[in-house]
């Protein structure tokens, strides 16, 4: 009886090994094939609304500028800002709820000269050196929350139009009348969790965005995901989070469109900016 039992167990073991030990299946030509693992598509790049932020309706900013010779062909320009009803270097109260990049130094001024990448000012003063070439310059400055979202209420921003003549004199020019858009965020490096919600923010000037009015066209891409470029037309002036960009070199192109959907005429109407997205 024991011998029969052992034979039965051995036969069962052989059958079990034959059924489970062969991970390949035979094709029609008798060769073994292996199941392929399907790749999971990456989520599409998208925009998401930013939750409501603390309002600062009474906040205001103004500026004075002074030029000083800086050698033969350039001038040092000192911009001094006056900020009212807003506290620089303080953390915006809801910064922990935004789940996005936040400045450890607190609230600040975004200083954007000729639509170049902004400088964050935690003190109300900044100096730049400019050539004595008569070129027109446009300074956009606005109050920013600690997580870099602009304050869009009236009085919280300014545009200062000026030039430095060939003798090094600073001359304030007429306030611009044409519609403009100034780029703010994204900017610089985003690392780890900060790549999840990347703030898209900008400042429009001398126009109102509307379904039947001016709009901002946003083209968003990652060099590692060129097949998934995201383009949208924004008819509401509000911040958004860019999501699902992944890692690599990101790029945003902003273009101000007129009421007919054509690129608006005038200076400061389109800008391209690149930034970095890193896992760690």
**pLDDT of amino acid 227:** 77
* Of residues 64, 68, 90, the one with CA closest to residue 79: 64
Helix%, strand%, coil% for the chain, nearest 5: 10, 45, 45
Domains of the chain in sequence order: 46-278 (2.60.40.2550)
pLDDT tens per residue across all 280 residues of the chain: 444 443 343 444 433 333 434 444 444 444 444 555 566 677 899 999 999 999 999 999 999 999 999 988 999 999 999 999 999 999 999 999 999 999 999 999 999 999 999 999 999 999 999 999 999 999 999 999 999 999 999 999 999 999 999 999 999 999 999 999 999 999 999 999 999 999 999 999 999 999 999 999 999 999 988 778 999 999 999 999 999 999 999 999 999 999 999 999 999 999 999 999 999 8
Q: What is the pTM assigned to this prediction? A: 0.85
What is the rounded CA–CA span in Å between residue 279 and residue 30?
A: 46
**pLDDT of amino acid 219:** 97
Contacts of 19 (CB under 8 A, 6+ apart): none
**pLDDT of amino acid 139:** 98
Rg from Cα positions in the chain = 29
**pLDDT of amino acid 60:** 98
* Of residues 14, 187, 166, 28, the one with CA closest to residue 103: 187
* Of residues 129, 269, 108, the one with CA closest to residue 187: 108
**pLDDT of amino acid 35:** 55
Q: What's the residue count for the chain?
A: 280
């Amino acid at each position: 009886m024991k011998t029969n039992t052992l034979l039965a167990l051995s036969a069962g073991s052989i059958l079990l090994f034959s059924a489970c030990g062969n991970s390949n299946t035979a094709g029609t030509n008798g060769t073994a094939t292996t199941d392929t693992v399907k790749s999971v598509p990456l989520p599409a790049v998208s925009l998401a609304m930013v939750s409501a932020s603390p309002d600062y309706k009474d906040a205001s900013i103004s500026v004075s500028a002074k030029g000083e010779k800086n050698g033969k062909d350039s001038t040092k320009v000192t911009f001094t800002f006056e900020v009212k009803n807003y506290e620089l270097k303080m953390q915006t109260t809801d910064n922990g709820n935004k789940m996005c990049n936040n400045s450890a130094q607190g609230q600040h001024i975004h200083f954007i000269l000729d639509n170049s990448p902004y400088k964050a000012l935690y003190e109300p003063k900044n100096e730049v050196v400019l050539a004595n070439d008569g070129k027109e310059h446009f300074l956009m400055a606005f109050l920013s929350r600690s997580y870099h979202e602009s304050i869009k209420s009236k009085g919280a921003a300014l545009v200062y139009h000026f030039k430095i003549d060939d003798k090094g004199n600073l001359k304030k020019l007429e306030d611009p009348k044409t519609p403009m858009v100034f780029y703010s965020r994204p900017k610089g490096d985003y690392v780890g969790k900060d790549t999840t919600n990347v703030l898209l923010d900008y400042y429009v000037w001398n126009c109102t965005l509307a379904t039947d009015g001016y709009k901002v066209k946003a083209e968003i891409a990652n060099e590692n995901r060129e097949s998934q470029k995201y383009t949208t037309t924004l008819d509401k002036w509000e911040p958004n989070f860019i999501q699902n960009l992944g890692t690599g070199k990101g790029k945003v192109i902003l273009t101000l469109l007129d009421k007919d959907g054509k690129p608006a005429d005038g200076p400061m109407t389109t800008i391209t900016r690149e930034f970095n997205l890193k896992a760690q």
